[in-house]
Amino acid sequence: MRRYTMPAIVLHWLIAIAIIGTFTLGLVMTDIQGISMAKIRYTNWHKWAGVTVLALAALRLLWRLFNHPPQYADAMPAWQRGAAYGLHILLYVLMFAVPLSGYFFSLAAGYPVVYFSEIPLPVLIGPDPELRDVLRGVHYWLNMLLAGLVALHVLAAFKHLLVDRDGVMQRMLPIPTPKEKR
């Protein structure tokens, strides 16, 4: 079975790590009450990480527009192909929607994003308390949706690995399994 190209594999795993890290930081920082050094630090790290996810997602979308992913296993039923296709579209949409909702939430709250404390990113909207309250909810629920879909994605991958044993998950693993090498 063909594997994904190396750029696609590298981007997939970088984004996976970045999303899990950013999500975790988001939970930790919002759990801190009041204002503390740690809260400010984590909040800024969270924003930088989110912007990084956005940039990597853009690269990944470019790759996807110019490359076809490798074939699924022949035995995979049509409904599973359809479900996988739909889930991947949603994951792509959320890779953009989640960081963008957070970015605009930050701007609406009156806090621009300065990437790594060095590069001021565009201030596209000014402070707006009403929009801020809306975006807080939007950012939160998009994240919960993303968490649910990532869980589904991981479960499906392991089903292919352990139940179907059809090589679908191996297409995206960084290192070919010994069996594949022959």
Partner 1 sequence: MKPLKALLVATLVGASALAVAVPLKTDPAKSSVSAVFKQMNVPVEAPFRSFTANIDYDAAKPAASKATVEINTASFDIGDPMYNKEVAKKDWFNSAQFPKASFVSTGIAPAGAGKLNVSGKLTMKGKTANVTFPLAVKAEGGKQVFEGQLPIKRLAFNIGEGEWKDTSMVADEVVIKFRVTAAP
Q: Which of residues 3-42 bind partner 1 (CB under 8 A)?
A: 33-35, 37, 40-41
Q: Which two tokens stand for residue 155?
A: 């479960």
Between 44 and 101, CB nearer to partner 1? 44
Cα(182)–Cα(178) distance, integer angstroms: 6
Among 4, 29, 44, 168, binds partner 1 (CB under 8 A): 44
91 neighbors 102 (Cβ within 8 angstroms): no
**Contacting partner 1 within 81-110 (CB under 8 A):** 109-110
Residue closer to partner 1, measured from CB, 6 or 117: 117
CB of 51 to partner 1, least distance (A): 13
The minimum distance between CB 122 and partner 1, in angstroms, equals: 14
Chain residues 105-144 in contact with partner 1, contact rule CB under 8 A: 109-114, 117-118, 127, 129, 132
Work out the number of other CB atoms within 10 angstroms of the CB of residue 82: 10
Answer yes or no: are the C-beta atoms of 42 and 26 closer than 8 Å.
no
Nearest partner of 109 among 123, 128, 124, judged by Cα: 128
- Does 176 sit near partner 1 (CB under 8 A)? no
Return the beta strands (E) in 58-143 as ranges.
Answer: 114-115, 119-120
- Look at the chain and count its residues: 182
Residue placing its CB nearer to partner 1 in the complex, 34 or 77: 34
- CA neighbours within 13 Å on the CB side: how many for 13? 12
Given the complex with partner 1, which of 18 and 113 has the nearer CB atom?
Answer: 113
- Contact footprint for partner 1 (CB under 8 A): 33-35, 37, 40-41, 44, 109-114, 117-118, 127, 129, 132
